[in-house]
Amino acid sequence: TLQVDHPAYDHSSNDVAGEFMADVLTGLAQSPPVIPPKYFYDDAGSRLFDRICELPEYYPTRTEMQILEQYAGAIGERLGEGVVLVEPGSGSSAKVSLLLRNLRRPVAYVPVEISGDHMLSSLTPLRQQFPAIDIIPVCADFTAGFTIPDVDAPAARRAVFFPGSTIGNFPPDQAAALLAQFRALVGAGGAVVLGVDLRKDPAVLEAAYNDAAGVTAAFNRNLLTRMQQELGAVLDADGFVHRAVWNAPESRIEMHLVSRHAQTIEVGGSTFRYEADDFIITEFSYKYTRAGLDALAAEAGLRVGASWEDARGWFSIQYLEA
Ligand code: AVJ
């Protein structure tokens, strides 16, 4: 759970490093084997993700940016004055300036990011653009619970900005639990601004995760490189190929690493066997319907105050009130 109002902010209380080995050993022992998607985002993976966002097939980033550009004024009006904006999984903080520009006397921006160096290097231009806003980076895995510093401003109101359809990485029950944690973090009178990818033509979805340039494949296979480099894993990285498929009943894109032939991965004293076509699940990316979004908000104890979409109805930004 999130610890809120922690008086003495301390980087070391948000431990990012120690869990990779444990999560890989637990995940690979499952059937089917899984590796949590948060491990995509080391520095190399974060840079690959930024490239994904520029791909012609990867519509979510561009579409959400368009919605933000068009409706940032309306979102800013809803958020009101004196906001402390917290962004879990902020990445390179590319979207937040659209929002900050449209806030009345914002107090602080608190990016929370697992990839610390990647985050820090992206904050310099933001600081130049918004000298009056206190920018307080927190290096943490937001799924593990994190603390944010108290901001010393009398009438400060907290809001969580959670764009990019990061929420789609979590199965609906976990997604609702995460939003409920955000509700607790912002408290009564606070809000969550949520960006969610909507269900659409499977051909569009599958193309977005199987780009022609192979950047998503490199992003997926970077997990294998990380296991070799950071966990001393013995594996053949070329023995696995990237695959992304639409799972209609579960309403999600699944990313897999598919074994090309019989082989093993040795890691942390364990040996895992794969036959040809066996696969490791590396990501779920859930796609929502409007009804599904309403149910999600309700389950998290949030009210849908407003929502905005692009003309094609591909992506939604929701203003959720705590
Ligand atoms: C960051 C979780 C929103 O699911 O679209 C992009 C990650 N994976 N291409 C997504 C991702 C492959 C992305 N999210």
| ipTM of the complex as predicted | 0.99
Work out the pLDDT band at 18, boundaries 50, 70, 90.
Answer: low
pTM: 0.92
| Token pair belonging to 172 | 């609906």
pLDDT reading at 10 higher than 70: no
pLDDT reading at 91 higher than 90: no
Place of tokens 């990285």: 237
| Ligand 1 binding pocket mutation candidate from 38, 65, 114, 165 (most atoms within 8 A of CB) | 165
pLDDT digits (tens, 9 = 90+) for 115-143: 778 788 889 999 999 999 999 999 888 98
pLDDT reading at 36 higher than 60: yes
pLDDT of residue 249: 98
pLDDT of residue 2: 35
pLDDT reading at 263 higher than 90: yes
Give the Å distance between the CA of 41 and the centre of ligand 1: 11
- For residue 49, the ligand 1 atom closest to its alpha carbon is 6
pLDDT of residue 154: 67
CA neighbours closer than 13 Å in the CB half-sphere of residue 150: 8
pLDDT of residue 13: 42
Give the Å distance between the CA of 188 and the centre of ligand 1: 31
pLDDT reading at 12 higher than 90: no
pLDDT of residue 17: 52
| Token pair belonging to 73 | 């004024």
pLDDT of residue 149: 84
Question: For the chain, what is the mean pLDDT?
Answer: 92
pLDDT digits (tens, 9 = 90+) for 208-246: 999 999 999 999 999 999 999 999 999 999 999 999 999
pLDDT of residue 1: 30
Pocket (CB within 6 angstroms of ligand 1): 52, 60, 164-166, 168-169, 209, 216, 283, 285
95 and 164 in contact (C-beta within 8 Å)? yes
The residue whose C-alpha atom lies closest to atom 14 belonging to ligand 1 is 166
- For residue 60, the ligand 1 atom closest to its alpha carbon is 5
pLDDT reading at 195 higher than 80: yes
The residue whose C-alpha atom lies closest to atom 4 belonging to ligand 1 is 285
Tell me what the mean pLDDT of segment 189-205 comes to: 97
pLDDT of residue 122: 87
Write a three-state SS string for the chain. Answer: CCCCCECCCCHHHCCCHHHHHHHHHHHHCCCCCECCHHHHCCHHHHHHHHHHCCCCCCHHHHHHHHHHHHHHHHHHHHHCECEEEEEECCCCCCCHHHHHCCCECCCEEEEEECCHHHHHHHHHHHHHHCCCCEECCEECCHHHCCCCECCCCCCCEEEEEECCCHHHHCCHHHHHHHHHHHHHHHCCCCEEEEEEEECCCHHHHHHHCCCCCCHHHHHHHHHHHHHHHHHCCECCHHHEEEEEEEECCCCEEEEEEEECCCEEEEECCEEEEECCCCEEEEEEEECECHHHHHHHHHHCCCEEEEEEECCCCCEEEEEEEC
